[in-house]
Amino acid sequence: MKGIRRLAHHLDISIGTVSRALNGRPDVNEETRKRVLQAAEDFGYVPNQSGRSLRQGTTNIIGFMIQTGSEITGQGDTFFMSVFDGVQVVFARHKLDLVALLCSSEEDPGDYLRRVVARGFADGLILSATQRHDPRIEFLAERNIPFVTLGRSLTDAGQPWLDLDFEGMAQASIDRLVARGHRRIAITRPHDDVNLGYVFVDRCREALAAHGLTLEDDLIFRSTPNEAGGYQIGRDLLALDDRPTAILLINETIAVGFYQALSEAGIRPGRDIAVIGRYSPHAHFLSPPLTCFRLSLRDLGIALAETLLSSMPAFRHHYPHATANQLWPMELVEGESDAFQIHQS
């Protein structure tokens, strides 16, 4: 055991707290900070050299790691390009360049990130697709490399993060559907261990429980984030003996395929089943219009960039008010896909 992990073990506090204390973050109490700094001195802890060079900002490049591959970006991207646009607005102020680090879905993201860091060409990093347990977070924190995550994780090194408010989406959707009489409500989750899936399922379960309802296991559909995944969910749902009367789609890329599967069976959203999803540029092709949650991706990019820079010594003074941890709200756009109501007998 070495570095920041050893300090945390010795002090019996979390790696996140140690990291926050070492980075002079305000959300650590004074006594803890003193203990950490004393222990760091006792142990002769110095930040890893590659981290140090990264922190000094010698390359003026910031890397944004995203997952690619035919299952993920095979039909294009309607999320990250707009986020990049916002990030670049901020970086342009500081002559920083953004590069997209494209990690193929066939490769382990941890291995990929180790190569990126070994090559030392970025001053800081933005990670996306945070997993339930994400070794990338500890890896970067131990090296004192500035980074921000788009998404939370159970692995918490005290790094700044932004995340879409999936809890808010889950709560508002379940409340809305229950108010319209639905009792058998299905939800979807991603095929992999991305953290947002857990957050979403947990909050849906809690929201249903508050109404005295249970989230049944056979009403949780897993799929890849693409049209084919949505189509498969539609087929699987239609094959159930006791079909749910409503469904909540977590991913913006699956609505099109889901509609298609329903359409082939003569089932119409809004008339025969209630559907709530997420906005994408495809959404306005759907008939009937999808009731969906929307956010400004460009503004999210701006906030991500400012949060990252607020954690980097060279730029911190420009962003004294950046929020280190932030749930990004999504706004409900009323469509017609959830007009279907259940009338209690």
Which residues lie near its own copies (CB under 8 A)? 59-61, 63, 68-70, 73-79, 81-82, 84-85, 88, 92, 97-102, 104, 106-107, 112, 115-116, 119, 121, 227, 280-282, 285, 298
**The two structure tokens encoding residue 101:** 């680090």
Residues 6+ apart with CB under 8 A from 299: 86
| Shortest Å distance, C-beta 46 to its own copies | 26
Q: CA-based Rg of the chain, rounded to a whole angstrom?
A: 22
> Distance between the two ends of the chain, CA-based, in angstroms?
64
| Shortest Å distance, C-beta 159 to its own copies | 22
233/241 Cα distance (integer angstroms): 15
| Shortest Å distance, C-beta 164 to its own copies | 17
| Shortest Å distance, C-beta 121 to its own copies | 4
108/337 Cα distance (integer angstroms): 38
The nearer residue to its own copies, 211 or 282, going by C-beta atoms, is 282
The nearer residue to its own copies, 99 or 339, going by C-beta atoms, is 99
Residue type, 59: T
Q: How buried is 16 (Cβ within 10 angstroms: 0-12 exposed, 13-18 middle, 19+ buried)?
A: buried
Helices (H), 239-316: 255-264, 297-310
The nearer residue to its own copies, 156 or 306, going by C-beta atoms, is 306
**How many Cβ atoms sit within 10 Å of the Cβ of residue 5?**
15
**The two structure tokens encoding residue 272:** 């025969």
| Shortest Å distance, C-beta 246 to its own copies | 25
The nearer residue to its own copies, 157 or 302, going by C-beta atoms, is 302
**The two structure tokens encoding residue 154:** 């159970």
| Shortest Å distance, C-beta 50 to its own copies | 14
The nearer residue to its own copies, 74 or 313, going by C-beta atoms, is 74
The nearer residue to its own copies, 3 or 86, going by C-beta atoms, is 86
